[in-house]
Structure 1
Amino acid sequence: MHFETADIVLAFGMLIIGFLYWNLIRIDSLGLGVTLFAAVLWGAASVYFRISGIKQTRAGLLASGVFLLSAVNFVLFDITLIKGLNFIFISLAFVFWVLVTAGKRLEEKISLYAISDMFYQLLVIPFTNFSGCFSGIRQVFAKSKRGKGVLSGILGILIFLPVLVMVITLLSSADAAFEGIIDHIRFSVSENLFEYLFQIILGLPVACYLYGMLYGNRYQRNTGNVTLESVNKNLDFFRFAPGVTVYSAMTALNLIYLVFFLAQASYLFSAFEGSLPQTMTYAEYARRGFFELCAVSAINLAVIAGAHLIAKRDRVKVLRGETIALCIFTIALLATAMSKMGMYISYYGLTQLRVYTSWFMVLLLAFFIIILLRQFKSFQGTQAALVSFLILFMVLCYGNIDGLIAKYNIERYQAGTLESVDLESMSYLSDAAVPELYRLYQETEDEGFKKDIKAAILGNLYEEHSGSVAAVSFRDFNLQSYQADAIRNTLTEAGAN
């Protein structure tokens, strides 16, 4: 392996970044620490590519914008599920940015070939260049015999440190005198030292993985010999099914859906009229419709993907017609299910599940509309689907979902269109809901209701934190929690006075 000065500096820098990955990112909170780590990682990679002569393209700048926009979300909002999804998204977004910036895509445009590109970026390139980080560092120490010894000693200590800790723990449990010596050492050493050492050890594979990705892309080392021709040849291997077999199966499936729609027309489309089938509640009606939607949509997506993958291209128009029929059936069911959900929300208000369900239905609707249009006109369907997902995902991340839920339900309650405010369910929302609950607290004159609202705002604060706000580090900070803590402190101080 060949190493220039920039490669060696990056190797040492990645050791620090590997440590920061575990030090800054707290999985249970995912706050400011994620934003800081993302900025450091992106900055280091950008400088490395720039020094290496790899310039940012327009596509690279767009990918950077998406990555950084995703990173900022962690410091602003406090919705656990969305932050968890966003953490997965930002990890993939960084890999995609490296792919685009390094110019290693099979096609310059966004297409299904990106699946192959991402596979190599995620698994092949980083792991086939996994030893590059230590190889670069070794070049600094390999200039002298003493340097080699120092490096070997450091690596030995780091590798066997977990074993040493385990042995020390067992010996401390076995002998009181030895335990006293260890306790004295712990008292003399910073209490965070052992945590830092543990984070350094865990950061080593992270450093090697990230370095392998960047180094491999710079030098095109172990990037594979994948070409459009080789991928297409592999795809041709899967096209083994005679067209008549696939088309017959799809026709049978479409006929089943047609019979289903005709038999269930009054039930499925009653939501458009605002009516409810007998013996069913609004909750049962909407939920049943949603799970039907999920099953049918998943089946249809799998059938469409499978048919286009395995069918021989002898009668393309027939395949296109079957795909159109499946898309129309699915879009009709999606529209019906969305009407059901609208009816459900109009009677019972918003919850997290209802919002996420509605978002998922809109996403599916966008996908099937794109697939349908793609059968009539040639355009970059994969790019359209990706853009649709990015827009909807950013709406989900920046839509302040919990705050929206609280505001919607409270405003409808105050307007008299919602029977009550479910404070119990609102108490399980994130800190995004606290400002809206506090506004209701200030505007309500019913003392009993005010007491319940206050309990919902404080949540389990007194049980978990013994009457005080838990101390958190800067890694856990986000703006919504900061604002919510200020409101809680105000309520606590007012209660004390």
Structure 2
Amino acid sequence: MSEMNSMNSVEPMSSMEPVPAWKKGKQEVMTQQFLLFMGAALGFGILYTFCMYQNPNGITYPVMIVGVYGVLFWMLKRLSIEWKRGSWFLASAAVLLGIAACRTADSLLIMMIKTAEFLLAVIFVMHQFYDDREWSIGKYLSSMAVYLCCVIAAAVYPFFQGKEFFRKANLKKYKTVSKVALGLAAALPILLAAGLLLGQADAVFGAIVVHWLEKILNVWTILIMIVMTAFGTFGVYCLICGACMDQISGEEKMVRTHEPVTAVTCMSAIALLYLFFCGIQVIYLFLGKGSLPEGVTYSSYARQGFFQLLFVAVMNLVMVLMNLKFFRKSRLLNGVLTVICGCTYVMIASAAYRMILYVREYHLTYLRVLVLWFLLLLACLMAGVVILIYKNRFPLFSWCLVLISVFFVGFSFMRPERVIAEYNVNHVKEWSDSDFQYMTQVLSADAVPVVLKALEDDAVLERFYSGGKKEFLAEYYDWAVSRNYQVRSSDFRTWNLSFEKAEQSFRNEEMGI
């Protein structure tokens, strides 16, 4: 009898089926409301295709960014997840970067902006789903890796969730949706016929209609648009699905358990070396005193070793953070780490001073602007590390995220290629042939208005170009504008401020303004 009872007690447990991963947690809500979530994602997918098809940096790019955060906000609201305070900063930074993208023709900057947009979206979703206030930089980076793996794994979840939804759903509740779809299908032939008739009635409207029909009624165009729409739809859907998998632990393990004696000994030896090096920097480089080795001039001394200094400065940042993570608190260790941070500031100043001297001699390039920008950013990041030494609960990741976002938004709106052109034009008398080629064959349309203004003096152009001015303008226009920008009234999406200013500058040159 007891055996029968035990068998009966086991039977219900064996009949229980494990909950599939795509139904766990908040994904159950997404399954129950699949039509709404997928409809919102599909709406973004269509918007993404409209904004981005053959249009990497047009006026519709910031519209797409607003769209993705709008859809994410709506999805979070449906999942009963409140919009956190820090999320406004992330969304605002993303929108500002979107605006910056349609102000520039700089392909490298556009690539960096798009990379930053992706990272901001990832951090935004993680910030909404997890309590990340006390996460370290290492914890955040590892969590981002786990989250991205979850996003990739969730690519198949919409199919399972959709199948489950339609298996259980009472489709009569969604008869309005089917009627709307039927109405759109009925309107399509009428729209085509009316569009063609109206196109014959108005030349401008007709040009727009013909342009879009030629684009859309093409097999390859349709295929690319379908792929882009699917990418946008599944991308935004899986961003939420991946976070709903809840695979990231909210708490960070305490690993600051090692004795600080070893760290103090090691860091003290390094600090002594750094102090000696910094003393040489102050005496020889900053003050210009002392005697240099034979055959070494102050200009060559200032230029050499820049990238080594930059590498050591970044290495110091990582080294200090590792000590703070793994070794127990110690006043002596804190003091040694503070000395290393101080020496790092001297190294940053030395690297910046060397680069400034180098720029005075050889003018600005993109890499040199990036380096100077990064050195200023690194100096600000180190301030957060110094605070962390004495205030261990200081939110260093948030500090770094805010600084990097603000600095990069400023860098994007600054349009570095225009800054390069403005600086180099002030030294046009010192240009070599390579400088002229760099200004006219490397820099994008961002630099065109400044370069054309400098070349208004025919004597400057004659130093570097043997042909006539008209031939040069035609070649320069083809390089900087024509091959990258074909905006017409029929496709307003591709409008870009930098290209428009460049075209206006060329028109002014042709008219002799």
TM range, smaller chain: 0.7 to 0.9
Tell me the residue number matched to 1:389.
404
Structure 2 unpaired stretches of 5+: 1-22, 170-213
Tell me the residue number matched to 2:247.
224
What is the rounded CA distance, in whole Å, between the counterparts of 1:320 and 1:80 in structure 2? 44
Q: Which structure 2 residues correspond to residues 278-357 of structure 1 after superposition, within 5 A?
A: 279-280=295-296, 284-311=300-327, 313=328, 315-357=329-371
What is the rounded CA distance, in whole Å, between the counterparts of 2:86 and 2:104 in structure 1? 28
Match of 1:193 among 189, 209, 219: 219
Q: Could you tell which deviates more after superposition, 455-464 or 193-202? A: 455-464
Deviation at 1:433, TM superposition (A): 0.7
What is the rounded CA distance, in whole Å, between the counterparts of 1:460 and 1:480 in structure 2? 15
Match status 1:69 vs 2:87:
no
Tell me the residue number matched to 1:407.
422
Paired amino acid for 2:85: R
Normalised by the size of structure 1, how large is the TM-score? 0.73
Paired amino acid for 1:42: Y
Structure 1 unpaired stretches of 5+: 145-187
Contact (CA 8 Å) 2:132, 2:250: kept in 1 or not? no
What is the rounded CA distance, in whole Å, between the counterparts of 2:407 and 2:499 in structure 1? 24
Q: Which structure 2 residues correspond to residues 469-488 of structure 1 after superposition, within 5 A?
A: 471=486, 476-488=494-506
C-alpha distance 366-52 of structure 1, shift in aligned 2 (>3 A): same
What is the rounded CA distance, in whole Å, between the counterparts of 2:413 and 2:102 in structure 1? 11
What is the rounded CA distance, in whole Å, between the counterparts of 2:480 and 2:314 in structure 1? 42
Tell me the residue number matched to 2:5.
none
What is the rounded CA distance, in whole Å, between the counterparts of 2:350 and 2:108 in structure 1? 27
What is the rounded CA distance, in whole Å, between the counterparts of 1:436 and 1:189 in structure 2? 36
Question: Per-residue CA shift, 1:206-232, capped at 9, x if unaligned?
Answer: 533431322455xxx42136132xx22
Tell me the residue number matched to 1:207.
233
C-alpha distance 356-280 of structure 1, shift in aligned 2 (>3 A): farther
What is the rounded CA distance, in whole Å, between the counterparts of 2:94 and 2:368 in structure 1? 28
Match of 2:437 among 409, 418, 424: 424
Deviation at 1:53, TM superposition (A): 4.0
Question: Per-residue CA shift, 1:337-361, capped at 9, x if unaligned?
Answer: 2122222233333222221111111
Q: Which structure 2 residues correspond to residues 43-442 of structure 1 after superposition, within 5 A?
A: 43-100=70-127, 102=128, 104-108=129-133, 112=137, 113-115=139-141, 117-124=143-150, 126-139=151-164, 142=167, 192-201=218-227, 204=230, 207-215=233-241, 217=243, 221-224=244-247, 226-228=249-251, 231-232=252-253, 235-236=254-255, 239=256, 241-262=258-279, 266-269=283-286, 279-280=295-296, 284-311=300-327, 313=328, 315-376=329-390, 379-413=394-428, 419-420=430-431, 422-427=435-440, 428-442=442-456
**Structure showing greater Rg:** 2
SS of 2:76's equivalent in the other structure is: helix
Tell me the residue number matched to 1:156.
none
SS of 1:442's equivalent in the other structure is: coil
Question: Per-residue CA shift, 1:461-487, capped at 9, x if unaligned?
Answer: 55899x988636656542101221333
Contact (CA 8 Å) 1:424, 1:456: kept in 2 or not? no
Deviation at 1:426, TM superposition (A): 0.9
Q: Could you tell which deviates more after superposition, 442-451 or 248-257? A: 442-451
Paired amino acid for 1:394: V
SS of 1:350's equivalent in the other structure is: coil
What is the rounded CA distance, in whole Å, between the counterparts of 1:482 and 1:189 in structure 2? 23
What is the rounded CA distance, in whole Å, between the counterparts of 1:492 and 1:385 in structure 2? 48
What is the rounded CA distance, in whole Å, between the counterparts of 2:226 and 2:53 in structure 1? 15
Contact (CA 8 Å) 1:407, 1:436: kept in 2 or not? yes
C-alpha distance 85-276 of structure 1, shift in aligned 2 (>3 A): farther
What is the rounded CA distance, in whole Å, between the counterparts of 2:322 and 2:471 in structure 1? 53
Q: Could you tell which deviates more after superposition, 339-348 or 28-37? A: 28-37
C-alpha distance 299-109 of structure 1, shift in aligned 2 (>3 A): closer
Question: Per-residue CA shift, 1:157-216, capped at 9, x if unaligned?
Answer: xxxxxxxxxxxxxxxxxxxxxxxxxxxxxxx99663234324534654653343132245
What is the rounded CA distance, in whole Å, between the counterparts of 1:138 and 1:492 in structure 2? 63
Tell me the residue number matched to 1:185.
none
Paired amino acid for 1:371: V
Contact (CA 8 Å) 2:147, 2:242: kept in 1 or not? no
Identity of matched residues, %: 22
Contact (CA 8 Å) 2:47, 2:67: kept in 1 or not? no
Contact (CA 8 Å) 2:477, 2:506: kept in 1 or not? no
What is the rounded CA distance, in whole Å, between the counterparts of 2:359 and 2:348 in structure 1? 16
Contact (CA 8 Å) 1:435, 1:484: kept in 2 or not? yes
SS of 2:220's equivalent in the other structure is: helix
What is the rounded CA distance, in whole Å, between the counterparts of 2:149 and 2:308 in structure 1? 36
Deviation at 1:310, TM superposition (A): 3.0
Deviation at 1:300, TM superposition (A): 1.3
Contact (CA 8 Å) 1:24, 1:36: kept in 2 or not? yes
Tell me the residue number matched to 1:184.
none
C-alpha distance 18-265 of structure 1, shift in aligned 2 (>3 A): same
Paired amino acid for 2:430: E
Contact (CA 8 Å) 2:31, 2:164: kept in 1 or not? no
Contact (CA 8 Å) 1:350, 1:409: kept in 2 or not? yes
Contact (CA 8 Å) 2:32, 2:165: kept in 1 or not? no
Contact (CA 8 Å) 2:59, 2:496: kept in 1 or not? yes
Deviation at 1:93, TM superposition (A): 1.0
Deviation at 1:253, TM superposition (A): 1.8
Contact (CA 8 Å) 1:441, 1:450: kept in 2 or not? no
Q: Could you tell which deviates more after superposition, 297-306 or 200-209? A: 200-209
Cα root mean square deviation, aligned: 4.1
Paired amino acid for 2:240: L
Paired amino acid for 2:499: S
